[in-house]
Amino acid sequence: MLGKQGWHFLAHPDSLVTSVFKANYFSLGDFLEAVEGSNSSFVWRSILQSQIVLKHGCRWRVGNGAKIKVWHDPWFNDSDNFYVDSFIVPGCEDLLVKDLMDIEGRNWNFELLHGLFQQRDVAAISSIPISSFGREDIWIWHYAKKGLYIVKSANHVARAVLRDQRNFSTPVCWLKLWKLLISPKLKNFIWRTCRDLLPSRLRLNQRDLQVDQTCVLCGQEEDSVHALLKCPLAIDCWKLIGVDYSRIVYAEFRSWFFSLFQQSNSKCIAKFCAMAWSLWGSRNQLI
């Protein structure tokens, strides 16, 4: 039921109930970006618990593109990742989806898409139909045909999220991650990395996509641990922000990252998230 209330905040941004909660708890963004804050009420804290499920199941459906932030919002029809993967292009931080369309808003500006994004993102954007009636962008529940929130489907997603947390036996770390004061996109990136969903060259080969498995920087086999931790460039970058290389002995990014969670405060963890994101962005710019 409380999940439904969180959904109401997204689907009905102009309702009186949404306005009251928005004024108090998420005045600068939407419900998915809301944080607990101090002096929050019991009801708000309870509703906020549904946020994690909504983050895994809600995304924008593109209409005229006027409300959707290109780099920060979930808007791709891809259940592995609703977000743009490419690194933010300097000077284009505030780009809206409507800016990616031609002047009449009837088609994508493909020249611009190829200039801004890597292949996966260009393909994902190109597959999104543009409304010829210029209808508004709306939030939808990704796992329902008509896009409307369905409690049964949300429960299914909630069970999958819980299963993930149990499988990794470190629910405290997940909770810490969701509470970090970093962008939802960055959280999503870390979450995907921890679940080994990053499209590293090794992973693409495991999915039968024939690509060169070696790292573009050093020629070693590239999985996500290599790209983010063990590549000579990554080692240097971590050293520069004071992370001791001798501690990087893990075979999985998740194990290493969660070990940091136990030893570091939120500010440092946010810095580590940004570094991992930045390393992945640099790597993407080279391929």
For Zn ion, the closer of residues 64 and 224 by Cβ is 224
Interface stretch with Zn ion, choices 69-77, 139-147, 230-238, 273-281 (CB under 5 A): 230-238
For Zn ion, the closer of residues 17 and 218 by Cβ is 218
Interface stretch with Zn ion, choices 9-17, 114-122, 226-234, 262-270 (CB under 5 A): 226-234
Nearest to 140 by CA among 34, 11, 12: 11
Contact (Cβ atoms closer than 8 angstroms) between residue 165 and residue 96: no
- DSSP class of residue 221 equals B
The SS3 of residue 58 is: strand
Q: In this structure, which amino acid lies at residue 126?
A: S
In the block, residue with structure tokens 């009251």: 20
Rounded to an integer, what distance in angstroms lies between the CA atom of residue 170 and that of residue 148? 32
198-217 positions binding Zn ion, by CB under 5 A: 215, 217
Report, in Å, the least distance between residue 251 CB and Zn ion. 16
The SS3 of residue 248 is: coil
Contact (Cβ atoms closer than 8 angstroms) between residue 65 and residue 143: no
Report, in Å, the least distance between residue 213 CB and Zn ion. 12
Report, in Å, the least distance between residue 233 CB and Zn ion. 7
Report, in Å, the least distance between residue 221 CB and Zn ion. 9
For Zn ion, the closer of residues 231 and 269 by Cβ is 231
What would the two tokens of residue 189 be?
A: 């990136």
Q: How many CA atoms within 13 Å lie on the side-chain side of 223?
A: 12
Pick from 100, 124, 158, 231: which binds Zn ion (CB under 5 A)?
231
For Zn ion, the closer of residues 58 and 231 by Cβ is 231
Can residue 218 be called a binding residue for Zn ion (CB under 5 A)? yes
Which residues of the chain form contacts with Zn ion (CB under 5 A)? 215, 217-218, 231
